[in-house]
Chains A and B, each alone.
Chain A
Amino acid sequence: MTTAPAIETKNLCKRFGAVQANDNISLLVEQGTVHGIVGENGAGKSTLLKMLFGFYQPNSGDLIVNGQKLDLDSPSDAMAAGIAMVHQHFMLVEPFTVLENIILGAEGDGMLDHAKSDARAKLLGLEQQFGFDLPLDTPVSQLSVGERQRVEILKALFRGADILILDEPTAVLTPQECDQLFELVRLLKSRGKTVLFVTHKLHEIMAITDAVTVIRAGKVITRVATSTTSPEDLAEAMVGAKISRAVERSGQEHGAPRLKVEGVSAQSDLGHSALKKISFELFDGEVLGVAGVAGNGQTELLDVLTGLRPVSEGQITLGEQIVNTARSMMDPIELRRAGLAHIAEDRLKTGVVADMSATENAILGYQREPDFSDKGLLKLAAISAAAEDYFESQDVRPRDPSLSFASFSGGNQQKLVIARELARSPQTLVIGQPTRGVDIGAVTKIHDQITELRNTGKAVLVVSADLDELMAISDRIIVMCEGEITGTVDIQDADERTIGLMMAGAHAEAGSKGAKV
């Protein structure tokens, strides 16, 4: 049966309530190939994967694995059929060792030692075969992100998987770790494994896959051999239309320094040192991008800038006002009044209350402004009017502010947040992940708005995990690694390779290091 495709789906459909998440998906993945699946956020990739992995059951359509039609009722059915998934967020028990994590769920009889010694022998064989060098007795908590991903892959191989689904595997990796992953994927392929590689980064598709399926709005748009396509064609298929930028960056010089960060250190929630004496300036009329692999201090940087986390040393100055020192910190309300708006990087966690209505969320952070409340009482009419206004100005749909915030799509949620934060024309904007979980149409609009703010002389700081995004909208990019600024580059001189090295911790050459602007 080696000629049968590894995975074939015929007219797979899945709907949630009124939403058709997958609409007649027909997928064909050849045995022993690397097959890419690309699509925007919300295109239906995750739904499809979850059906392949037995987590969801399709409403209609067939799933054929190695020539056999299967009904997968649970992930363990999928495992039995040789399908394993490496999730974007790893499913590992951090205090357990690599070995303990790998045998988790396959411990065999009551005595753990038997399972361990059996597993150890088998794993050594696998490690040799696939070129792993993972320390089996080290707790996972001590491993790097890239190593943890390899643990997940080794675990899948240990369970006898022949088909590996990698869900956005590069989202958390540095460019160098990505290269290692690609090597491993090629090796897996050469050993006869089938890999389903899911991403929205087109250059990865071009680099690693043999064939690619493009999904948009729950439908398969096209399936092509990678060698016959180009990133431009794929992008067009993904988006449905050529992306065009409505707002051009005007060639103005930037203005006076607006936000000064001088020798700032801060601790993470766990008490680790998250920022280490960083210094930079943000000027009026510029967009300053902050690049880096997630978890290298960007979150803490956003916090200290927006009054959510005290600095342990150094100081931050907004205009003429000192806003954060080791001794005192302006709270978020004072900062907003001083003209600093904050679009939170994790919208649903920090920026809004998901199960309150859009109207109630429209005043979050501004609830004490005199136009929204007076003598402790809310001005309900004014609040409704403001919400209506925000819906109008950003074209939020559906046009019903009484709905709970969570019932809007990611893009519409972000539009609402942006409307709220721009409503008082702040001079300074601090934005985390401006387009995370936002559909592509809205992405362009958000980028245009950021550029427009810059053109009108505002100071904008953008933290993003998406380097392409930063390259598209920034005037300068600073790169963070392990709480330090490892480099500052002007956009004319920026290239992804250099920035990638800085993200991995290599300091830039003299002349553009950290504190220097």
Chain B
Amino acid sequence: MSAQANKLPGAIEAVVMPFLNTLIAFLLSGLLIWALGEDPFYALSLLFDGAFGYQEGIGYTFYYATNFIFTGLAVSVAYHAGHFNIGGEGQAMLGGLGLTLAVFWLGDTAPFLSVIIAIVGAALFGGAWAFIPAWLQATRGSHIVITTNMFNFIASALLAYLLVGPLQRPGGQMPESSDFPEGAGLMKFDELMSVFGFSFEQSPLNVSFLIALLMALAVWFLLTRTRFGYEMRVAGKNQSAAAFAGISVPRVTIIALMMSGALAGMMGLNELLGEQLRLIGNFTLGYGFVGIAVAFMGRNHPLGIVLSAILFGVLYQGGAEIAFEITTISSDMIVVVQGLVIIFAGAMPHLMRKPVLAVYERFAGKGAA
């Protein structure tokens, strides 16, 4: 009975609730900005202007969104299998390492082939990095939250070691590798548009955005159309029922978490193969963690994740614009705003459930009467 009483129609659940939560976060942010003596509406207009007002801004918005799509999808695939992968950071770092090795291996002789292998390498290394925690979880019951988090530190240390050691740019002082060989990179969006005869301002946006969208489509297909996706969701929701249905929970756990790691690993495509064209220590910049908020705000649905990833792209890009234009608002303030969105839309998704339910029941009740 109580299960029934808490039901809202899917559309309200998927659209209205996240919207309300985001609205609350924005209201609070507005209050903060007002308390600093600035005009919140001006800040808001800067936010959207910075994110969508000009082509370069749009490019940056979708460039950031690309990272969030990858890490958000990574969190959601694990979540559907009943696990909380907070190791996106480390898996992304290893993905970056994988693609770097691929381009240095083949980049000089066959740049195009090296990019293809780099894409596979990013996924393979990210997936492999998730394998050990997954295997420990599946066979020993070691809690994935602990192990994936620990693996973030190990990945970070491993990358730091490699980038001041064997992989460091010869003669360089920074923890970064040599530049990737000529041609071993992903096509920029402006280059792509010019192929079709359109012009677009230069920005870091590159074809990994399209790869990210493709991955979102693939995850949707996996979850709704494939037998493995079905078995994965069953195992994620009810392990006893999975055993009853002849589904091996350890096997599903390992495969799902490796898929999750592979998606996180592909984040490096955007940052490294799309923009930096070299491996940089800690290039992940927390995108792996924000992916958790992106996934939850998107209700772990691929389409929702793409949309919430774009919202976070807006916050990153438009936020930078605010910090640039309004001197009293520093970039730290923008992090606070992002934090508020994460808290309200990601961490407290049920905050508005009761009032929304009450309103809905009143209207539904009227409809029935």
B225 touches A364 (CB 8 A): no
B1 on the interface (CB 8 Å rule)?
A: yes
B225 touches A378 (CB 8 A): yes
In Å, the complex CA distance between A342 and B244 comes to 9
Which chain B residues lie closer than 8 Å to A363 at the CB level?
Answer: 230
A450 to chain B, nearest CB (A): 20
B4 on the interface (CB 8 Å rule)?
A: yes
Which chain B residues lie closer than 8 Å to A183 at the CB level?
Answer: none
Which chain B residues lie closer than 8 Å to A306 at the CB level?
Answer: 244
Among candidates A18, A364, A378, A406, residue contacting B245 with C-beta atoms closer than 8 Å = A364
A36 to chain B, nearest CB (A): 24
Q: 1/0 contact trace for B215-253 toward A, CB 8 Å?
A: 000000000011110110110011011011110000000
B3 on the interface (CB 8 Å rule)?
A: yes
Which chain A residues lie closer than 8 Å to B245 at the CB level?
Answer: 332-333, 364-365, 367
Listed stretches A127-135, A203-211, A285-293, A347-355; interface member = A347-355
A495 on the interface (CB 8 Å rule)?
A: no
Which chain B residues lie closer than 8 Å to A332 at the CB level?
Answer: 243-246
Which chain A residues lie closer than 8 Å to B2 at the CB level?
Answer: 16
B244 touches A351 (CB 8 A): yes
Which chain B residues lie closer than 8 Å to A17 at the CB level?
Answer: 1, 4-5, 361
In Å, the complex CA distance between A334 and B230 comes to 19
Which chain A residues lie closer than 8 Å to B246 at the CB level?
Answer: 307, 331-334, 336, 365, 368
B11 on the interface (CB 8 Å rule)?
A: no
Nearest-CB residue, chain B, relative to A308: B243
B350 on the interface (CB 8 Å rule)?
A: no
In Å, the complex CA distance between A21 and B2 comes to 12
The main secondary structure of chain B at its interface with chain A is: helix
In Å, the complex CA distance between A25 and B311 comes to 53
In the complex, which residues 71-130 of chain B have their Cβ closer than 8 Å to any Cβ of chain A? none
B1 touches A364 (CB 8 A): no
A21 touches B237 (CB 8 A): no
A364 touches B241 (CB 8 A): yes
A196 on the interface (CB 8 Å rule)?
A: no
Among candidates A18, A353, A368, A378, residue contacting B238 with C-beta atoms closer than 8 Å = A353
B244 touches A344 (CB 8 A): yes
Q: 1/0 contact trace for A1-23 toward B, CB 8 Å?
A: 00000000000000011110100
Decide yes or no: A378 and B361 within 8 Å by CB, A17-B4, A332-B246 being known contacts.
no
* Chain B residues within 8 Å of chain A by Cβ, number: 25
B195 on the interface (CB 8 Å rule)?
A: no
A241 on the interface (CB 8 Å rule)?
A: no
A367 touches B227 (CB 8 A): yes
Nearest-CB residue, chain A, relative to B234: A353
In Å, the complex CA distance between A334 and B246 comes to 8
In Å, the complex CA distance between A349 and B244 comes to 10
In Å, the complex CA distance between A329 and B368 comes to 53
Nearest-CB residue, chain B, relative to A408: B4
In Å, the complex CA distance between A351 and B240 comes to 8
A268 to chain B, nearest CB (A): 15
In Å, the complex CA distance between A19 and B368 comes to 13
Which chain B residues lie closer than 8 Å to A380 at the CB level?
Answer: 225
B143 on the interface (CB 8 Å rule)?
A: no
A37 to chain B, nearest CB (A): 19
A376 on the interface (CB 8 Å rule)?
A: yes
B4 touches A377 (CB 8 A): no
A407 on the interface (CB 8 Å rule)?
A: yes
Which chain B residues lie closer than 8 Å to A364 at the CB level?
Answer: 234, 241, 244-245
A360 on the interface (CB 8 Å rule)?
A: yes
A19 touches B230 (CB 8 A): no
Among candidates A19, A351, A367, A378, residue contacting B1 with C-beta atoms closer than 8 Å = A19
Which chain B residues lie closer than 8 Å to A351 at the CB level?
Answer: 241, 244
Which chain B residues lie closer than 8 Å to A317 at the CB level?
Answer: none
In the complex, which residues 275-316 of chain B have their Cβ closer than 8 Å to any Cβ of chain A? none
A224 on the interface (CB 8 Å rule)?
A: no
Which chain A residues lie closer than 8 Å to B7 at the CB level?
Answer: 404, 407
Which chain B residues lie closer than 8 Å to A350 at the CB level?
Answer: 238, 240-241, 243-244
Which chain A residues lie closer than 8 Å to B243 at the CB level?
Answer: 308, 332, 350
Which chain A residues lie closer than 8 Å to B233 at the CB level?
Answer: 353, 356
A26 on the interface (CB 8 Å rule)?
A: no
In Å, the complex CA distance between A308 and B231 comes to 17
Which chain B residues lie closer than 8 Å to A333 at the CB level?
Answer: 245-246
A373 on the interface (CB 8 Å rule)?
A: yes
A356 touches B244 (CB 8 A): no
Which chain B residues lie closer than 8 Å to A18 at the CB level?
Answer: 365, 368
B221 to chain A, nearest CB (A): 9
B244 touches A376 (CB 8 A): no
Nearest-CB residue, chain B, relative to A383: B230
In Å, the complex CA distance between A281 and B159 comes to 63
B290 to chain A, nearest CB (A): 27
A16 touches B231 (CB 8 A): no
Which chain A residues lie closer than 8 Å to B1 at the CB level?
Answer: 16-17, 19, 21
In Å, the complex CA distance between A364 and B246 comes to 9
B225 touches A377 (CB 8 A): yes
Nearest-CB residue, chain B, relative to A363: B230
Among candidates A331, A355, A376, residue contacting B228 with C-beta atoms closer than 8 Å = A376
In Å, the complex CA distance between A368 and B226 comes to 11
In Å, the complex CA distance between A376 and B222 comes to 10
A16, A336, A350, A355: most-surrounded residue (chain B CB, <10 A): A350
In Å, the complex CA distance between A224 and B241 comes to 45
Among candidates B4, B226, B238, residue contacting A16 with C-beta atoms closer than 8 Å = B4
B332 to chain A, nearest CB (A): 40
Which chain B residues lie closer than 8 Å to A349 at the CB level?
Answer: 238, 240-241
In the complex, which residues 360-390 of chain A have their Cβ closer than 8 Å to any Cβ of chain B? 360, 363-365, 367-368, 373, 376-378, 380
A60 to chain B, nearest CB (A): 16
A357 to chain B, nearest CB (A): 11
Which chain A residues lie closer than 8 Å to B361 at the CB level?
Answer: 17
Decide yes or no: A378 and B226 within 8 Å by CB, A308-B244, A351-B244 being known contacts.
yes
In Å, the complex CA distance between A480 and B47 comes to 71
Which chain A residues lie closer than 8 Å to B228 at the CB level?
Answer: 376
In the complex, which residues 132-165 of chain B have their Cβ closer than 8 Å to any Cβ of chain A? none
In the complex, which residues 324-369 of chain B have their Cβ closer than 8 Å to any Cβ of chain A? 361, 365, 368
In Å, the complex CA distance between A356 and B224 comes to 12
In the complex, which residues 1-44 of chain B have their Cβ closer than 8 Å to any Cβ of chain A? 1-5, 7
B237 touches A365 (CB 8 A): no
Q: 1/0 contact trace for A299-341 toward B, CB 8 Å?
A: 0000000111000000000000000000000011110100000
Which chain B residues lie closer than 8 Å to A407 at the CB level?
Answer: 3-4, 7
Nearest-CB residue, chain A, relative to B4: A407
Which chain B residues lie closer than 8 Å to A354 at the CB level?
Answer: 3, 237-238
B227 touches A376 (CB 8 A): yes
B14 to chain A, nearest CB (A): 15
In Å, the complex CA distance between A354 and B271 comes to 41
In Å, the complex CA distance between A19 and B361 comes to 13
In Å, the complex CA distance between A378 and B229 comes to 9
Nearest-CB residue, chain B, relative to A336: B246
A470 to chain B, nearest CB (A): 23
In Å, the complex CA distance between A380 and B361 comes to 32
Among candidates B3, B226, B238, B365, residue contacting A377 with C-beta atoms closer than 8 Å = B226
A352 touches B230 (CB 8 A): no
In Å, the complex CA distance between A61 and B367 comes to 27
B241 touches A377 (CB 8 A): no
A97 to chain B, nearest CB (A): 31
> Can you name 6 A-B pairs with beta carbons within 8 Å?
A308-B244, A332-B246, A363-B230, A365-B244, A378-B230, A406-B4
Q: What 14 additional pairs, Cβ within 8 angstroms, besides A354-B237, A404-B7?
A: A16-B4, A17-B5, A17-B361, A336-B246, A349-B238, A350-B238, A353-B241, A364-B245, A365-B245, A368-B227, A376-B228, A380-B225, A406-B4, A407-B3
Sorted nearest first, the 4 A-B pairs with minimum C-beta distance are: A333-B246, A332-B246, A365-B245, A373-B227
